[in-house]
């Protein structure tokens, strides 16, 4: 594994080009010349348009929908960089797809997150920079360094402007599995926490049995890492309103928004849904209740610190995200 390269070069796959341009601009370097297309049979075609020999290369690519297309494209780009003698290759994956397949939930299940970790390493990644993995233990699937950023601080700073009274605000975890990340979010806001009792009948279908905690007459902020179909968030919001909540917001790092998630959220009792730009939000997935914040500057600072062999633990300090105006897209 290479420890360092000479000079930062930022490249982008097809998934996060706008975010990659923001990152490059904040670092003060041009976005690298790279084209990623498809041959007539659908195979990925990659061309690097500049010299990368000996450089510290950062490839920005979320493995979001279309998941397999974006994943294979990232693998091919890294292979091209490795064969072009890049000094060090960092896969910048704001949203890490397959992260929810992190264990054998039943007999004969694959552990796809581990498979993806192996593929990234074999393709040439020297390290990975990502944000809010579904379970932090996924870092242990890699035999290379993984820098794991947290989006809770940026989201908390946004809500700090809206919720002036911490005593009348509560952060809500939709289930026990999200309690730790919700507690971290609550600590930023200095508010109490409530936890949903969720039972999943089958994939993408759930039932909220109840809420553990006091939510009556409170402003409730449901916090999770991912909103996929929107079912869990909407049902949690409905239960909170039934229990007497004054108003309900939702906050998440990754807005997958598959199926009819957008219409489901727009027609729900939620006042607003706030997410980060780890996954692009195309025009057809925009709605009045959905607000996206940019987290590009946090990735830019992390890249500069990685390149300069500096600690990134200070990025978890709320002082790095005080100027929330830089976040709103």
| Catalytic sites, residue numbers | 198
122: enclosing H helix or E strand = helix 112-123
* Contact in structure between 289 and 265 (CB atoms under 8 Å): yes
Q: Are strands 192-202 and 169-173 parallel, antiparallel or unpaired?
A: parallel
Edge-to-edge strands, sheet with 88-93: 8-12, 56-60, 88-93, 127-131, 146-149
Q: Kind and range of the H or E element at 198?
A: strand 192-202
Distance of CA 304 to the CA centre of its chain: 19
Residue 5, CB-side half-sphere exposure with 13 Å CA sphere: 25
Q: How big is the CA angle at 229 (ends 242 and 73), to the nearest 5 degrees?
A: 155
Contact between residue 195 and residue 213 where contact means Cβ atoms under 8 Å apart:
yes
CA separation (Å) from 179 to 137, 174, 192, 222?
15, 8, 12, 11
DSSP-derived 3-state class of residue 40: coil
Dist. CA 139–CA 149, nearest whole Å: 12
């Amino acid at each position: 594994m290479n420890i360092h390269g000479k000079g930062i070069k930022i490249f982008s796959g097809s998934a996060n080009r706008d975010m990659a341009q923001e990152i490059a601009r904040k670092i003060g370097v041009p976005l690298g010349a790279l084209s990623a297309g498809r041959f007539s049979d659908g195979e990925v075609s990659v061309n690097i348009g500049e010299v990368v020999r000996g450089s510290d290369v950062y490839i920005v690519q979320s493995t979001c929908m279309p998941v397999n297309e974006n994943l294979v494209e990232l693998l091919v780009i890294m292979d091209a960089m490795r064969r072009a003698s890049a000094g060090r290759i960092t896969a910048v994956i704001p949203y890490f797809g397959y992260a929810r397949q992190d264990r054998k939930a039943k007999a004969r299940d694959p552990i796809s997150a581990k498979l993806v970790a192996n593929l990234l390493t074999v393709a040439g990644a020297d390290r990975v920079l990502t944000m809010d993995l579904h379970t932090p233990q996924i870092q242990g699937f890699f035999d290379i360094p993984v820098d794991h950023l947290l989006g809770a601080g940026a989201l908390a700073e946004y809500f700090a402007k809206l919720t002036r009274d911490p005593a009348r605000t509560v952060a809500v975890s939709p289930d026990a599995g999200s309690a730790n990340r919700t507690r971290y979010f609550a600590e930023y806001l200095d508010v109490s926490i409530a936890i949903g009792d969720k039972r999943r009948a089958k994939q993408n279908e759930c039932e909220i049995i109840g809420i553990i905690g006091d939510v009556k007459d409170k402003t409730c902020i449901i916090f999770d890492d991912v909103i996929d179909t929107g079912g869990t968030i909407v049902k949690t919001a409905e239960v909170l309103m039934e229990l007497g909540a004054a108003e309900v917001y939702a906050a998440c790092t990754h807005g997958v928004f598959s199926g009819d998630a957008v219409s489901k959220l727009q027609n729900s009792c939620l006042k607003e849904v706030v997410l980060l730009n780890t996954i692009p939000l195309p025009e057809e997935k925009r709605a009045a209740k959905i607000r996206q914040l940019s987290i590009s500057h946090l990735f830019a600072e992390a890249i500069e610190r990685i390149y300069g062999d500096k600690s990134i633990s200070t990025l978890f300090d709320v002082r790095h995200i005080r100027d929330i105006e830089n976040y709103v897209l």
